[in-house]
Amino acid sequence: MELEGKVSLVTGASRGIGRAIALKLSSLGSKVAINYREGEVAANSVVREIVSQGREAISIKADVADSEAVKAMVQRVSAEWNKIDILVNNAGITRDNLLLRMSDKAWDDVLNTNLRGAYLCTKFALQPMIKQRWGRIISVASIAGLIGNAGQTNYSASKAGIIAFTKSVAREVGSRNITANAVAPGFIKTQMTEKLPDAIKESILSMTSLRRFGEPEDVAEVVAFLASDRASYITGQVISIDGGI
């Protein structure tokens, strides 16, 4: 129970990778706030699963791109448990299209949720972390942010931005015993990736050294490590979880 007594806030935690991360952190002893924008039923299901295991969890509806909503969310977590130790910036969306066909709204929606969301959540969560002189910020980027992906210029740009953002934050807050790292998943089996055409799935599979797709739990394990004291001397790093693309 290496996270016993810790408090975690996981954004976009009602399903997929976020859900797996929330469950993993809880299994290690952390109290967990489950953020969601849509999917209240799914978010509450995660809370019930955690509570059924004798752990503490709450769900909080908030759009991570909305400054006031994020501020209120952080205040709610702090009021519930008096602190925030671990922030996982997981909330993300896709609006795929070729660049020449991409609408301004599709660009703005993805950058606002994926990148602005990480900025706002980190900005507000840092305040209690700095006061207690301990914190872990872990942001979910993507392999697309490292190598790009056709049809995902908006998504790739947002995830590349998260990587640079993470490295900069690590430099700013390291002296306060706060680490900032990112993970870059490859093809992970979630509701989001299941929507991809079979031809694209096969193409990705052929590029993956392990010849299989990842599970949300594969990402959750690395996030849990980065949240623990075992990773206390790791900051400003990006760990790819992609099966060897």
Provide Rg for the chain, Cα atoms: 17
- Residue the block writes with tokens 């130790």: 85
DSSP sequence for 184-203: EE-SB-SHHHHTS-HHHHHH
Residues 6 or more apart whose CB falls under 8 angstroms from that of 86 comprise 3, 6, 7, 8, 9, 25, 30, 135, 136, 137, 138, 227
Distance CA(245)–CA(234), nearest Å, equals 23
Asked if 36 is an active-site residue, the reply is no
Distance CA(183)–CA(156), nearest Å, equals 14
Catalytic residue among 36, 119, 155, 233: 155
- Residues marked active site are found at 155
